[in-house]
A and B are shown apart, each in its own frame.
Chain A
């Protein structure tokens, strides 16, 4: 039986995490950070983790609250997600932006060295666009991905790649008619979530993104969940 006090402290950890964008740090929330080190409180936390479908991950002096893929309590609904990407963006634009974001993660953490797959410190906007150009070509060449275009769907990757190809470089803002504007929109959503910085035209991952990616996201345990996710979609 877990002590009431431990449960109370576990709930407190949960609340503080929610109030601080999902991150607790030793310096800013010393009390909760200390509680987290306690075995009994940790047990109470693990109950919360189970019931709320999330995980608390401690990397050095920070504790991240990570909703699992299937979490619908703290994850956004599809509508919120789309709005979060960029208000009135068309669905295919939102699709493209999402794909670009997945590509950005790959450009940072897609290295061949599995003990440290980080392959760059930063990337400049023009290089990023070039990398996306190449990636889209590469993906289009991959045999498995080329689908027979099915008219019942409004678009698929082939269409997205074509739309991307037809966009121009340049532009100052976030207009999705240009490649730069589209990428900027992709970067901005991730910036707002504290995952990237964009200084002097260089895009860098934050400590939070690197921590989450290397210690949680890329771990082999995720593979089954991800396969399952794509399989369910295929059956759709």
Chain B
């Protein structure tokens, strides 16, 4: 390999960083059309710099609405006026669609001359986190810092301690303005290091195998060595600032009422510098205090991965799960329950109640009453009444549907009826009709009645009582305001071909079809006889 090609991968990656902004892939032509050529390119850099500026503060990132506010102000300098909702739309487009690539990882193919291989390298200029208030906060990623700093500064200023050295030198030369600017630069570099550090921990946690050993030694050894060096320098600068401020205060006192603008300005710079240095000191201390925890996390992870050192190969999810899922049909629906079982919370909220074993009807309750809520007697009574009312309503609706079907069919199986209901449900987009459990209950009661004589059924004495406990046909006719004598059906009989089970079992899972398949209905119709 030619030596001059060394490190080419990093150079081209920086090029791709620019590409991600300037040749943005997820272009929204509508928004792009609001600006003249090139203007939006500038705005992207403005927003990135704004996010970088924001990361100097302690808040740890800016929200999308803060980006909007900045854009509102920034657009004025370009003499562009946009309505507030368009500015919000613009902010979302810039941050989420382009800078975050809509959430998808943005990768470019990069050739490494040293190894002669191609790999995919990721471009991610900003990163986000969810704040305690459930707001997304954005800040620059390490790469983002790298990119912005490299497009302005020269390489040697990159190292934190070099930047601090320059700050100190300028301060010693009493060049307050420049040393203030350099101190800000130092803080930005430190923030970049902090982000790199956090990203490192995250990648160690996510997948230890993706972290190269060299990255670990860079982080633990070199980073901390230079950080210690930097901290020394910080202390020196802090004491220099104190010294100069004291000196100048004395000078100022001597001047009494005379106003020395130059002195005031210098004092202002020193005060601002002192604030920045305080943040730098805190950040350095925080990073140093984590030094050993990083080592511990790394070692823990190494241990965990050694413990489970059997192959960490992963299968192709699409081929193994998604494709076969698309060949399932309705009766195989249970597969999804099984597939998701390892991921969902273990089911623990059911309390085994022995009474249930001896009261089979209880399991048919619409609601599971075994919750932990304790109701007063009165509340419980009201609750029961409501439940009964609900059940009665369901009975009525089911029966109404059933009788309408029975009027036009002489003999049919319950299965046919349920199928018809499903089609109806689909047409009307309601879920009620396909509630097979409810049907099951109704058929169970109808079956128990054997042959039902509609012609001679007397409903005259019945008072409307929506809270009746039992399935009572005259009662139901009354509730749905229907006269059984006027139906086209004289009588109806329900037969069971074989056992009329509660559940038919399939694959050890309770099948969704309640055991109604073997049930037949025959009707004696008035029009058929005549």
> Complex: how many Å from CA A120 to CA B435?
39
Flag whether A48 is at the interface (Cβ < 8 A): no
Quote the shortest CB–CB distance from B329 to chain A (angstroms): 4
Flag whether B345 is at the interface (Cβ < 8 A): yes
Q: Is the CB of A153 within 8 A of B342?
A: no
List CB contacts (< 8 Å) of B309-365 with chain A: 311-315, 317-318, 320-348
Flag whether B232 is at the interface (Cβ < 8 A): no
Contact residues in B for A109 (Cβ distance below 8 Å):
317
**Given known contacts A78-B337, A147-B329, A156-B328, A139 and B347 CB-to-CB distance under 8 angstroms:** no
Contact residues in A for B509 (Cβ distance below 8 Å):
77-78
Segment among B10-18, B96-104, B239-247, B482-490 that sits at the interface with chain A:
B96-104
Flag whether A6 is at the interface (Cβ < 8 A): no
For A75, the closest partner residue in chain B by CB is B341
Q: Is the CB of B329 within 8 A of A82?
A: no
Contact residues in A for B341 (Cβ distance below 8 Å):
67-69, 71, 75-76
Q: Main SS of chain A's interface residues?
A: mixed
Counting chain A CB atoms within 10 Å of each CB, the highest count among B313, B314, B318 belongs to B314
Q: Is the CB of B330 within 8 A of A236?
A: no
Contact residues in B for A17 (Cβ distance below 8 Å):
346
**B64, B210, B313: which contacts A116 (Cβ < 8 A)?**
B210
> Complex: how many Å from CA A114 to CA B320?
14
> Complex: how many Å from CA A42 to CA B120?
41
Contact residues in B for A81 (Cβ distance below 8 Å):
336-337, 340
**Given known contacts A69-B338, A121-B103, A154-B330, A227 and B207 CB-to-CB distance under 8 angstroms:** no
Flag whether A50 is at the interface (Cβ < 8 A): no
> Complex: how many Å from CA A216 to CA B312?
10
Q: Is the CB of A110 within 8 A of B320?
A: no
**B130, B320, B330: which contacts A92 (Cβ < 8 A)?**
B330
> Complex: how many Å from CA A121 to CA B375?
45
Q: Is the CB of A156 within 8 A of B206?
A: no
For B334, the closest partner residue in chain A by CB is A78
**Given known contacts A69-B338, A116-B210, A78 and B314 CB-to-CB distance under 8 angstroms:** no
> Complex: how many Å from CA A127 to CA B97?
11
Chain B contact-residue range equals 35 or more
Segment among B271-279, B280-288, B424-432, B460-468 that sits at the interface with chain A:
B424-432
Q: Is the CB of B210 within 8 A of A124?
A: no
**Given known contacts A69-B342, A218-B315, A150 and B329 CB-to-CB distance under 8 angstroms:** yes
Contact residues in A for B104 (Cβ distance below 8 Å):
119-120, 123
For A149, the closest partner residue in chain B by CB is B329
Q: Is the CB of A199 within 8 A of B207?
A: no
Q: Is the CB of A199 within 8 A of B337?
A: no
Q: Is the CB of A223 within 8 A of B336?
A: no
Flag whether A220 is at the interface (Cβ < 8 A): yes
List CB contacts (< 8 Å) of A31-71 with chain B: 54, 58-60, 65-71
Q: Is the CB of B339 within 8 A of A157?
A: no
**Given known contacts A236-B332, A236-B506, A90 and B425 CB-to-CB distance under 8 angstroms:** yes
List CB contacts (< 8 Å) of A198-222 with chain B: 199-200, 202, 209-210, 212-214, 216-220, 222
**Given known contacts A91-B434, A144-B323, A145-B323, A236 and B507 CB-to-CB distance under 8 angstroms:** yes
**A116, A177, A220: which contacts B311 (Cβ < 8 A)?**
A220
Q: Is the CB of B318 within 8 A of A195?
A: no
Flag whether B408 is at the interface (Cβ < 8 A): no
Q: Is the CB of B339 within 8 A of A193?
A: no
For B131, the closest partner residue in chain A by CB is A199
Q: Is the CB of A214 within 8 A of B206?
A: yes
Contact residues in A for B347 (Cβ distance below 8 Å):
74-76, 80
Give the number of A-B contacts (CB < 8 Å): 230
Quote the shortest CB–CB distance from B508 to chain A (angstroms): 7
Quote the shortest CB–CB distance from A224 to chain B (angstroms): 10
Contact residues in B for A69 (Cβ distance below 8 Å):
338-339, 341-342
Flag whether B469 is at the interface (Cβ < 8 A): no
Contact residues in B for A95 (Cβ distance below 8 Å):
328, 330, 333, 336
Flag whether B136 is at the interface (Cβ < 8 A): yes
Q: Is the CB of B206 within 8 A of A210?
A: yes
> Complex: how many Å from CA A150 to CA B429?
23
Flag whether B235 is at the interface (Cβ < 8 A): no
Q: Is the CB of B330 within 8 A of A199?
A: no
> Complex: how many Å from CA A74 to CA B343?
12
Flag whether B390 is at the interface (Cβ < 8 A): no
List CB contacts (< 8 Å) of B492-529 with chain A: 506-512
Contact residues in B for A202 (Cβ distance below 8 Å):
96, 103, 136
Flag whether A155 is at the interface (Cβ < 8 A): yes
> Complex: how many Å from CA A110 to CA B314?
10
Quote the shortest CB–CB distance from B440 to chain A (angstroms): 12
List CB contacts (< 8 Å) of A148-179 with chain B: 150, 153-157, 177
> Complex: how many Å from CA A199 to CA B324?
32
List CB contacts (< 8 Å) of A82-125 with chain B: 82, 88-95, 98-99, 101-103, 105-106, 109-111, 113-124
Counting chain A CB atoms within 10 Å of each CB, the highest count among B311, B337, B511 belongs to B337
Contact residues in B for A60 (Cβ distance below 8 Å):
205, 297, 300-301, 304
Flag whether A197 is at the interface (Cβ < 8 A): yes
> Complex: how many Å from CA A212 to CA B346?
13
**Given known contacts A75-B337, A91-B330, A99 and B343 CB-to-CB distance under 8 angstroms:** no
Flag whether B419 is at the interface (Cβ < 8 A): yes
**Given known contacts A114-B314, A145-B326, A124 and B339 CB-to-CB distance under 8 angstroms:** no
Quote the shortest CB–CB distance from A52 to chain B (angstroms): 10
Quote the shortest CB–CB distance from A193 to chain B (angstroms): 5
Q: Is the CB of A99 within 8 A of B330?
A: no
Contact residues in A for B342 (Cβ distance below 8 Å):
66-69, 212, 216-217
**A58, A74, A106, A120: which contacts B322 (Cβ < 8 A)?**
A106
**Given known contacts A60-B301, A145-B327, A218-B317, A74 and B346 CB-to-CB distance under 8 angstroms:** yes
Q: Is the CB of A76 within 8 A of B322?
A: no
Contact residues in A for B314 (Cβ distance below 8 Å):
114, 117, 214, 218-220
> Complex: how many Å from CA A220 to CA B313?
6
23 sample A-B contacts, Cβ–Cβ < 8 Å, listed by A number: A76-B341, A76-B347, A78-B510, A90-B426, A91-B333, A95-B330, A98-B336, A103-B322, A106-B322, A110-B318, A115-B207, A116-B207, A118-B105, A118-B206, A119-B105, A144-B323, A145-B323, A156-B327, A199-B135, A200-B64, A219-B312, A220-B315, A226-B320
Q: Kindly list 16 other residue pairs between chains A and B, CB separation below 8 angstroms, not including A68-B341, A69-B338.
A: A58-B304, A60-B297, A74-B348, A75-B337, A76-B347, A78-B337, A81-B336, A82-B512, A89-B431, A92-B330, A121-B103, A124-B103, A153-B330, A155-B329, A157-B328, A218-B314
Binding site for A on B (CB under 8 A): 64, 96, 100, 102-105, 120, 128, 130, 134-136, 205-207, 209-210, 297, 300-301, 304, 311-315, 317-318, 320-348, 419, 422, 425-426, 429, 431-432, 434-435, 506-512
